[in-house]
Amino acid sequence: MKEIVLCKYGEIALKGLNKSAFESMMTKSIKYRLKSLGDINIYRSQSTLYAEPLDEDIDVDEIVERLSKVFGIVKLCRACVLEKDMQQILSQGPEYLADELEAAKTFKVEAKRSDKRFALKSPEICTEMGGAILDKFPHLKVDVHDPDVTVMVEIREEKAFVHAGQIDGAGGLPVGSSGRAMLLLSGGIDSPVAGYMIARRGAKISAIHFEAPPYTSDRARMKVEKLAKIISGYCGEIEFYCVPFTKIQELLRDNCPEEFFTILMRRLMMEIAQRICEREGIQALVTGESLGQVASQTMYAMVCTDAACRMPVFRPCVGLDKSEIVQIARRIDTFDTSILPYEDCCTVFTPKHPKTKPKLSEVERAQNSFDWEPYISEAVGNTSVQYIRNF
Protein backbone atom coordinates (compact mmCIF):
# COMPACT_ATOMS: atom_id res chain seq x y z
CA MET A 1 0.00 0.00 0.00
CA LYS A 2 1.42 3.35 -1.04
CA GLU A 3 2.43 5.70 1.78
CA ILE A 4 3.05 9.43 1.84
CA VAL A 5 3.95 11.99 4.50
CA LEU A 6 1.70 15.03 4.79
CA CYS A 7 3.23 18.21 6.25
CA LYS A 8 0.96 20.99 7.48
CA TYR A 9 2.27 24.49 8.10
CA GLY A 10 0.97 27.32 10.23
CA GLU A 11 2.46 30.84 10.07
CA ILE A 12 3.39 30.48 6.42
CA ALA A 13 -0.28 30.21 5.48
CA LEU A 14 -0.77 33.76 6.81
CA LYS A 15 1.98 35.38 4.74
CA GLY A 16 -0.33 36.69 2.00
CA LEU A 17 1.47 37.61 -1.20
CA ASN A 18 4.78 36.40 0.29
CA LYS A 19 3.44 32.92 1.02
CA SER A 20 4.92 31.31 -2.09
CA ALA A 21 8.41 32.61 -1.25
CA PHE A 22 8.25 31.01 2.21
CA GLU A 23 6.88 27.78 0.71
CA SER A 24 9.71 27.68 -1.80
CA MET A 25 12.33 28.10 0.93
CA MET A 26 10.80 25.32 2.99
CA THR A 27 10.51 23.02 -0.03
CA LYS A 28 14.17 23.62 -0.90
CA SER A 29 15.19 22.86 2.70
CA ILE A 30 13.16 19.65 2.77
CA LYS A 31 14.60 18.40 -0.52
CA TYR A 32 18.11 18.99 0.82
CA ARG A 33 17.37 17.22 4.11
CA LEU A 34 15.82 14.17 2.41
CA LYS A 35 18.18 13.89 -0.57
CA SER A 36 20.35 11.16 0.97
CA LEU A 37 17.35 8.87 1.59
CA GLY A 38 16.57 8.23 -2.07
CA ASP A 39 14.09 9.37 -4.70
CA ILE A 40 11.36 11.34 -2.92
CA ASN A 41 8.88 13.56 -4.75
CA ILE A 42 8.25 16.81 -2.85
CA TYR A 43 5.29 18.94 -3.89
CA ARG A 44 2.75 21.24 -2.27
CA SER A 45 -0.95 21.96 -2.56
CA GLN A 46 -3.65 23.54 -0.37
CA SER A 47 -1.28 24.66 2.43
CA THR A 48 0.09 21.13 2.69
CA LEU A 49 3.45 19.80 1.60
CA TYR A 50 3.71 16.20 0.40
CA ALA A 51 6.74 13.91 0.67
CA GLU A 52 6.10 10.93 -1.59
CA PRO A 53 8.67 8.08 -1.59
CA LEU A 54 9.18 6.80 -5.12
CA ASP A 55 11.23 3.74 -4.06
CA GLU A 56 9.71 0.98 -1.95
CA ASP A 57 12.83 0.54 0.18
CA ILE A 58 12.90 4.16 1.45
CA ASP A 59 12.55 4.35 5.24
CA VAL A 60 9.37 6.36 5.87
CA ASP A 61 10.13 6.52 9.60
CA GLU A 62 13.37 8.34 8.77
CA ILE A 63 11.48 10.74 6.49
CA VAL A 64 9.16 11.60 9.37
CA GLU A 65 12.08 11.97 11.80
CA ARG A 66 13.90 14.42 9.56
CA LEU A 67 10.80 16.39 8.64
CA SER A 68 9.84 16.77 12.31
CA LYS A 69 12.94 19.00 12.68
CA VAL A 70 12.25 21.24 9.68
CA PHE A 71 11.23 24.73 10.77
CA GLY A 72 7.98 25.86 9.19
CA ILE A 73 6.20 22.50 9.55
CA VAL A 74 3.61 22.43 12.37
CA LYS A 75 2.16 18.92 11.99
CA LEU A 76 3.08 15.75 10.11
CA CYS A 77 1.33 12.48 9.50
CA ARG A 78 1.99 9.23 7.66
CA ALA A 79 -0.92 8.41 5.40
CA CYS A 80 -1.93 5.83 2.84
CA VAL A 81 -2.71 7.12 -0.63
CA LEU A 82 -5.99 5.94 -2.14
CA GLU A 83 -8.18 6.71 -5.09
CA LYS A 84 -11.19 8.92 -4.43
CA ASP A 85 -13.38 5.88 -4.39
CA MET A 86 -15.40 5.18 -1.25
CA GLN A 87 -15.21 1.41 -1.63
CA GLN A 88 -11.42 1.50 -1.79
CA ILE A 89 -11.28 3.87 1.16
CA LEU A 90 -13.52 1.58 3.25
CA SER A 91 -11.60 -1.58 2.38
CA GLN A 92 -7.99 -0.38 2.48
CA GLY A 93 -8.19 2.43 5.05
CA PRO A 94 -8.94 0.20 8.08
CA GLU A 95 -6.36 -2.32 6.86
CA TYR A 96 -3.66 0.39 6.75
CA LEU A 97 -4.47 1.41 10.35
CA ALA A 98 -4.72 -2.15 11.66
CA ASP A 99 -1.86 -1.88 14.17
CA GLU A 100 -3.22 1.29 15.79
CA LEU A 101 -6.81 0.02 15.84
CA GLU A 102 -5.92 -3.43 17.22
CA ALA A 103 -4.16 -1.78 20.17
CA ALA A 104 -6.96 0.72 20.88
CA LYS A 105 -10.20 0.46 22.82
CA THR A 106 -11.98 3.51 21.44
CA PHE A 107 -11.90 5.54 18.24
CA LYS A 108 -13.61 8.22 16.25
CA VAL A 109 -13.55 9.26 12.60
CA GLU A 110 -13.05 12.76 11.22
CA ALA A 111 -13.27 13.74 7.58
CA LYS A 112 -12.05 16.69 5.54
CA ARG A 113 -13.57 17.04 2.09
CA SER A 114 -11.47 19.63 0.23
CA ASP A 115 -12.82 18.37 -3.10
CA LYS A 116 -16.48 19.41 -2.92
CA ARG A 117 -17.23 17.32 -6.02
CA PHE A 118 -16.86 14.13 -3.99
CA ALA A 119 -20.26 12.43 -3.71
CA LEU A 120 -20.40 12.03 0.09
CA LYS A 121 -20.25 14.89 2.55
CA SER A 122 -17.98 14.81 5.59
CA PRO A 123 -20.59 13.43 8.08
CA GLU A 124 -21.49 10.68 5.62
CA ILE A 125 -17.82 9.78 5.12
CA CYS A 126 -17.42 9.52 8.91
CA THR A 127 -20.47 7.27 9.22
CA GLU A 128 -19.38 4.93 6.44
CA MET A 129 -15.78 4.66 7.67
CA GLY A 130 -16.90 4.17 11.29
CA GLY A 131 -19.09 1.28 10.23
CA ALA A 132 -16.30 -0.35 8.22
CA ILE A 133 -13.91 -0.08 11.18
CA LEU A 134 -16.44 -1.62 13.61
CA ASP A 135 -17.05 -4.50 11.19
CA LYS A 136 -13.32 -5.24 10.99
CA PHE A 137 -12.47 -4.50 14.66
CA PRO A 138 -15.55 -5.44 16.72
CA HIS A 139 -13.72 -4.90 20.05
CA LEU A 140 -13.69 -1.14 19.44
CA LYS A 141 -16.16 1.40 20.75
CA VAL A 142 -16.87 4.89 19.46
CA ASP A 143 -15.81 7.77 21.70
CA VAL A 144 -16.13 11.19 20.09
CA HIS A 145 -14.75 13.07 23.12
CA ASP A 146 -11.53 11.28 24.16
CA PRO A 147 -10.73 8.44 21.74
CA ASP A 148 -7.57 6.34 21.79
CA VAL A 149 -7.34 6.72 17.99
CA THR A 150 -8.70 9.42 15.71
CA VAL A 151 -9.01 8.19 12.14
CA MET A 152 -8.77 10.97 9.58
CA VAL A 153 -10.07 10.72 6.03
CA GLU A 154 -8.99 13.54 3.72
CA ILE A 155 -10.52 13.93 0.28
CA ARG A 156 -8.21 16.24 -1.65
CA GLU A 157 -8.01 17.40 -5.24
CA GLU A 158 -6.05 14.46 -6.63
CA LYS A 159 -6.27 11.62 -4.11
CA ALA A 160 -7.75 10.46 -0.82
CA PHE A 161 -5.61 10.02 2.29
CA VAL A 162 -6.27 8.00 5.44
CA HIS A 163 -4.20 8.40 8.60
CA ALA A 164 -4.43 8.23 12.36
CA GLY A 165 -2.89 10.89 14.54
CA GLN A 166 -0.51 13.73 13.86
CA ILE A 167 3.08 14.31 14.94
CA ASP A 168 4.14 17.72 16.19
CA GLY A 169 6.53 19.53 13.87
CA ALA A 170 9.17 22.09 14.81
CA GLY A 171 6.98 25.09 13.92
CA GLY A 172 8.47 28.51 13.26
CA LEU A 173 9.61 29.83 9.88
CA PRO A 174 11.74 28.22 7.16
CA VAL A 175 15.50 28.53 7.65
CA GLY A 176 16.86 31.39 5.56
CA SER A 177 13.64 33.40 5.41
CA SER A 178 14.87 35.91 8.03
CA GLY A 179 18.50 36.45 7.00
CA ARG A 180 21.78 35.09 8.36
CA ALA A 181 23.18 35.13 11.89
CA MET A 182 26.43 34.08 13.56
CA LEU A 183 26.05 32.04 16.75
CA LEU A 184 28.81 32.33 19.35
CA LEU A 185 28.83 28.64 20.22
CA SER A 186 30.48 27.53 23.45
CA GLY A 187 30.39 24.09 24.99
CA GLY A 188 27.70 25.07 27.50
CA ILE A 189 23.97 24.53 27.72
CA ASP A 190 22.74 27.96 26.67
CA SER A 191 24.31 28.79 23.29
CA PRO A 192 23.02 25.72 21.37
CA VAL A 193 19.53 26.54 22.66
CA ALA A 194 19.94 30.15 21.49
CA GLY A 195 20.98 28.95 18.03
CA TYR A 196 17.97 26.65 17.83
CA MET A 197 15.60 29.41 18.92
CA ILE A 198 16.82 32.05 16.47
CA ALA A 199 16.90 29.51 13.61
CA ARG A 200 13.29 28.65 14.44
CA ARG A 201 12.43 32.24 13.52
CA GLY A 202 13.92 31.77 10.06
CA ALA A 203 17.59 32.72 10.52
CA LYS A 204 20.27 30.77 8.65
CA ILE A 205 22.83 29.94 11.34
CA SER A 206 26.60 29.90 11.13
CA ALA A 207 28.60 29.23 14.29
CA ILE A 208 31.87 30.55 15.67
CA HIS A 209 33.88 28.91 18.44
CA PHE A 210 36.96 30.21 20.24
CA GLU A 211 39.56 27.69 21.33
CA ALA A 212 42.64 28.22 23.49
CA PRO A 213 45.04 25.27 23.36
CA PRO A 214 46.75 24.05 25.49
CA TYR A 215 44.28 25.47 28.04
CA THR A 216 41.44 23.79 26.15
CA SER A 217 41.65 20.26 24.76
CA ASP A 218 40.81 18.60 21.46
CA ARG A 219 37.92 16.94 23.28
CA ALA A 220 36.49 20.37 24.10
CA ARG A 221 36.48 21.26 20.40
CA MET A 222 34.99 17.88 19.47
CA LYS A 223 32.24 18.48 22.02
CA VAL A 224 31.32 21.80 20.39
CA GLU A 225 31.42 20.25 16.92
CA LYS A 226 29.01 17.59 18.16
CA LEU A 227 26.68 20.29 19.48
CA ALA A 228 26.80 22.00 16.08
CA LYS A 229 25.96 18.68 14.43
CA ILE A 230 22.96 18.11 16.69
CA ILE A 231 21.43 21.54 16.07
CA SER A 232 22.16 21.27 12.34
CA GLY A 233 19.37 18.69 12.31
CA TYR A 234 17.08 21.68 12.89
CA CYS A 235 19.11 24.58 11.45
CA GLY A 236 20.41 22.95 8.29
CA GLU A 237 24.07 22.77 7.33
CA ILE A 238 26.20 24.99 9.59
CA GLU A 239 29.36 26.85 8.62
CA PHE A 240 31.51 26.26 11.70
CA TYR A 241 34.34 28.75 12.31
CA CYS A 242 37.02 27.96 14.88
CA VAL A 243 39.17 30.86 16.11
CA PRO A 244 42.62 30.38 17.72
CA PHE A 245 42.28 32.55 20.82
CA THR A 246 45.18 31.53 23.08
CA LYS A 247 47.47 34.49 22.35
CA ILE A 248 44.71 37.04 22.94
CA GLN A 249 43.72 35.45 26.24
CA GLU A 250 47.33 35.41 27.45
CA LEU A 251 47.72 39.06 26.48
CA LEU A 252 44.52 39.91 28.35
CA ARG A 253 45.86 38.16 31.41
CA ASP A 254 49.16 40.02 31.24
CA ASN A 255 47.98 43.51 30.24
CA CYS A 256 44.48 44.16 31.63
CA PRO A 257 42.91 44.55 35.09
CA GLU A 258 41.73 41.14 36.25
CA GLU A 259 38.22 42.33 37.15
CA PHE A 260 37.64 43.36 33.51
CA PHE A 261 39.07 40.19 31.97
CA THR A 262 35.78 38.50 31.08
CA ILE A 263 34.06 41.58 29.64
CA LEU A 264 37.14 42.51 27.58
CA MET A 265 37.39 38.93 26.33
CA ARG A 266 33.78 39.06 25.16
CA ARG A 267 34.31 42.42 23.43
CA LEU A 268 37.28 41.03 21.53
CA MET A 269 35.31 37.90 20.61
CA MET A 270 32.55 40.12 19.26
CA GLU A 271 35.03 42.11 17.18
CA ILE A 272 36.51 38.95 15.64
CA ALA A 273 33.04 37.51 14.98
CA GLN A 274 31.88 40.77 13.38
CA ARG A 275 34.81 40.88 10.99
CA ILE A 276 34.01 37.37 9.79
CA CYS A 277 30.31 38.29 9.52
CA GLU A 278 31.12 41.38 7.44
CA ARG A 279 33.31 39.29 5.16
CA GLU A 280 30.65 36.58 4.74
CA GLY A 281 27.56 38.81 4.48
CA ILE A 282 26.07 37.78 7.84
CA GLN A 283 23.75 40.36 9.40
CA ALA A 284 23.66 39.64 13.16
CA LEU A 285 25.30 37.92 16.13
CA VAL A 286 23.58 35.47 18.49
CA THR A 287 24.62 34.59 22.04
CA GLY A 288 23.24 32.32 24.74
CA GLU A 289 23.27 35.00 27.44
CA SER A 290 20.53 35.02 30.08
CA LEU A 291 20.13 38.23 32.04
CA GLY A 292 21.79 38.02 35.45
CA GLN A 293 22.86 34.39 35.16
CA VAL A 294 26.58 35.10 35.69
CA ALA A 295 28.73 38.20 36.26
CA SER A 296 29.36 38.75 32.54
CA GLN A 297 25.61 38.65 31.84
CA THR A 298 24.41 41.52 33.99
CA MET A 299 22.71 44.39 32.19
CA TYR A 300 25.77 46.56 32.86
CA ALA A 301 28.07 43.96 31.27
CA MET A 302 25.79 43.52 28.26
CA VAL A 303 25.80 47.26 27.67
CA CYS A 304 29.61 47.21 27.66
CA THR A 305 29.64 44.28 25.24
CA ASP A 306 27.10 45.80 22.86
CA ALA A 307 29.05 49.07 22.74
CA ALA A 308 31.76 47.16 20.86
CA CYS A 309 29.27 45.86 18.26
CA ARG A 310 28.39 47.34 14.89
CA MET A 311 25.57 44.87 14.21
CA PRO A 312 22.56 43.57 16.17
CA VAL A 313 23.17 41.05 18.94
CA PHE A 314 20.25 38.67 19.48
CA ARG A 315 19.88 36.93 22.85
CA PRO A 316 16.93 34.50 22.56
CA CYS A 317 17.53 33.15 26.09
CA VAL A 318 17.79 36.54 27.79
CA GLY A 319 14.47 36.26 29.64
CA LEU A 320 14.62 32.53 30.45
CA ASP A 321 15.81 31.05 33.71
CA LYS A 322 18.19 28.09 33.75
CA SER A 323 15.50 25.46 34.20
CA GLU A 324 13.65 26.72 31.12
CA ILE A 325 16.83 26.65 29.04
CA VAL A 326 17.63 23.12 30.28
CA GLN A 327 14.12 22.00 29.35
CA ILE A 328 14.64 23.13 25.74
CA ALA A 329 18.16 21.63 25.66
CA ARG A 330 16.74 18.26 26.68
CA ARG A 331 14.03 18.48 24.03
CA ILE A 332 16.49 19.18 21.22
CA ASP A 333 18.99 16.59 22.55
CA THR A 334 21.90 18.95 23.27
CA PHE A 335 21.83 18.73 27.07
CA ASP A 336 23.78 15.48 27.56
CA THR A 337 26.55 16.71 25.27
CA SER A 338 26.64 20.18 26.86
CA ILE A 339 27.33 18.79 30.33
CA LEU A 340 30.33 16.70 29.26
CA PRO A 341 33.30 17.82 31.41
CA TYR A 342 35.40 19.45 28.68
CA GLU A 343 35.69 23.18 29.33
CA ASP A 344 35.85 25.90 26.70
CA CYS A 345 37.98 29.04 26.62
CA CYS A 346 35.43 31.09 28.56
CA THR A 347 36.59 29.32 31.73
CA VAL A 348 40.30 30.09 31.13
CA PHE A 349 41.80 32.71 33.49
CA THR A 350 38.43 33.37 35.13
CA PRO A 351 38.83 36.33 37.52
CA LYS A 352 38.21 35.72 41.22
CA HIS A 353 36.17 38.89 41.61
CA PRO A 354 34.70 39.98 38.23
CA LYS A 355 32.95 43.34 38.05
CA THR A 356 29.18 42.89 37.90
CA LYS A 357 28.53 46.61 37.26
CA PRO A 358 31.34 47.67 34.92
CA LYS A 359 31.37 51.22 33.61
CA LEU A 360 31.79 51.53 29.87
CA SER A 361 34.38 54.31 30.19
CA GLU A 362 36.56 52.13 32.45
CA VAL A 363 36.23 49.11 30.16
CA GLU A 364 37.12 51.13 27.07
CA ARG A 365 40.09 52.71 28.87
CA ALA A 366 41.39 49.26 29.82
CA GLN A 367 40.95 47.95 26.27
CA ASN A 368 42.55 50.99 24.65
CA SER A 369 45.64 50.72 26.84
CA PHE A 370 46.92 47.97 24.54
CA ASP A 371 47.09 47.66 20.76
CA TRP A 372 44.88 44.63 19.94
CA GLU A 373 44.63 45.18 16.20
CA PRO A 374 47.52 42.93 15.06
CA TYR A 375 46.27 40.07 17.21
CA ILE A 376 42.65 40.47 16.12
CA SER A 377 43.73 40.42 12.46
CA GLU A 378 45.92 37.38 13.10
CA ALA A 379 43.07 35.50 14.79
CA VAL A 380 40.69 36.27 11.93
CA GLY A 381 43.28 35.24 9.36
CA ASN A 382 43.97 31.92 11.10
CA THR A 383 40.32 31.02 11.65
CA SER A 384 39.42 27.64 10.17
CA VAL A 385 36.03 26.73 8.71
CA GLN A 386 34.24 23.46 8.15
CA TYR A 387 30.71 22.50 7.17
CA ILE A 388 28.68 20.45 9.64
CA ARG A 389 25.37 18.70 9.12
CA ASN A 390 23.37 15.90 10.66
CA PHE A 391 21.43 14.49 7.70
Q: Report d(CA 161, CA 48) in Å as an integer.
A: 12
Residue 173 DSSP SS3: strand
Helices (H) and strands (E) in the chain, counts: 14, 15
Beta bridge mates, 286 = 183, 314
Give me the pLDDT at residue 15, please. 81
Q: Is 208 exposed, middle or buried (0-12, 13-18, 19+ CB in 10 A)?
A: buried
pLDDT, tens only, 140-195: 999 999 999 999 999 998 899 999 988 999 999 999 999 999 999 999 999 999 99
Question: Residue 29 in contact with residue 175, Cβ under 8 Å?
Answer: yes
Give me the pLDDT at residue 78, please. 94
pLDDT, tens only, 45-77: 877 899 999 988 899 999 999 999 999 999 999
Q: What is the mean pLDDT of residues 10-24?
A: 84
C-alpha closest to that of 194 among 305, 315, 285: 315
Res. 44: pLDDT tops 90: no
Question: Residue 311 in contact with residue 274, Cβ under 8 Å?
Answer: yes
Q: Report d(CA 341, CA 187) in Å as an integer.
A: 9
The domains located in the chain, with CATH, are 3-168 (3.30.2130.30), 180-388 (3.40.50.620)
pLDDT, tens only, 294-305: 878 899 999 999
pLDDT, tens only, 224-262: 999 999 999 999 999 999 999 999 999 999 998 999 999
pTM listed for this prediction: 0.89
Q: Report d(CA 303, CA 360) in Å as an integer.
A: 8
Q: What is the mean pLDDT of the chain?
A: 93
